[in-house]
């Protein structure tokens, strides 16, 4: 009887697995969970592949010509203020220009998916034709909810310095702690597929620069699924123990 049940369940489990990641990593955004031209969000109006994040006109910010309504929250790591190596955990406030703030505009659960600054000559906020309803946000997708209520407690630090070239770096007003074991970090993880950023006087730019380098959400994730090699838009493998494993792209253990 047990074998019979398993034989019936197996096709269902395979189907569910296929739905969870219907597009191969690295194959582009179409058909992924970041493709909002499909499913309930586009049920009331046809939208473009890029619409929910970018717009060529009347964006909310010039940076990334960003179209999704930004969260009003600032983010911190709760009661924990420093890493074990003494690096302060930064605040990510509403003036931060790094990619993390834009990622959290969806993922913190405070803004409806369909709340965009401009589409089809209209502003859409919450319960409007572009969106099923104001309640349709990340709070209904708990496995993808990060930063709820402004808390990043329990999450890997982002908008934080990376010890490029095994030296101290200052990023988002935070400097690498004195107790950081530099040998525990890959000196430059960019050849491993990790994306680094530089803090150019409060303006974040892509690429590493000695003394001002840091990491963002998109250091490890590629939201467009072009540099992804595993699910969750990861730039490294979710499992393993060699150099392809996502954690070992930066950490030497």
3-state secondary structure 111-127: CCCCCEEEECCEEECCC
- What pLDDT score does 171 carry? 98
Say whether 13 sits in a helix, a strand or coil.
Answer: helix
How would you class 121 by CB atoms within 10 Å of its CB: exposed for 0-12, middle for 13-18, buried for 19 or more?
exposed
Residue 51: which of 156, 153, 158, 131 has the closest Cα? 131
**Residue whose token pair is 């730039």:** 235
- What pLDDT score does 74 carry? 97
Count of alpha carbons within 13 angstroms of residue 193, beta-carbon side: 22
The CA distance from 69 to 71, in Å, is 7
- What pLDDT score does 140 carry? 60
pTM of the model: 0.87
- 10-residue mean pLDDT profile of the chain (253 residues): values are 38 36 89 84 79 94 95 95 97 97 92 87 76 56 79 96 98 98 98 98 96 98 98 97 97 95
- What pLDDT score does 16 carry? 33
Distances (CA, A) of 224 to 71, 130, 148, 160, 205: 21, 22, 23, 22, 18
| Structural contact between residues 106 and 68, judged by C-beta atoms closer than 8 angstroms | yes
Q: Give percent helix, percent strand, percent coil of the chain, each to the nearest 5.
A: 25, 15, 60
């Amino acid at each position: 009887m047990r074998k019979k049940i398993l034989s019936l369940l197996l096709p269902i489990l395979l189907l569910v697995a296929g739905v969870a990641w219907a597009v191969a990593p690295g194959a582009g955004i179409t058909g992924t969970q970041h493709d909002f031209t499909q499913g309930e969000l586009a049920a009331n109006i046809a939208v473009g592949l890029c619409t929910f994040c970018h717009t060529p006109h009347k964006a909310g910010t010039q940076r990334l010509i960003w179209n999704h309504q930004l969260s009003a929250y600032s983010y911190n790591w709760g009661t924990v203020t420093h890493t074990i190596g003494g690096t302060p955990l930064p605040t990510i406030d509403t003036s931060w220009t790094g990619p993390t703030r834009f990622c959290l505009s969806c993922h913190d659960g405070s803004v409806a998916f369909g709340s965009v600054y401009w589409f089809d000559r209209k502003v859409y906020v919450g319960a409007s034709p572009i969106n099923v309803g104001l309640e349709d946000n990340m709070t209904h997708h708990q496995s993808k909810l990060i930063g709820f209520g402004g808390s990043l407690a329990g999450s890997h630090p982002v908008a934080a310095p990376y010890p490029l070239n095994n030296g101290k770096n200052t990023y988002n007003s935070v400097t690498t702690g004195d107790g950081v074991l530099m040998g525990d970090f890959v000196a430059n993880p960019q050849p491993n597929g990790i994306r680094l950023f530089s803090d150019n006087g409060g303006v974040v730019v892509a690429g590493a620069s000695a003394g001002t380098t840091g990491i963002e959400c998109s250091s490890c994730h590629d939201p467009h699924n072009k540099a992804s090699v595993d699910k969750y838009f990861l730039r490294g493998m979710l499992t393993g123990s060699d150099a392809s494993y996502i954690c070992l792209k930066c950490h030497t253990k």
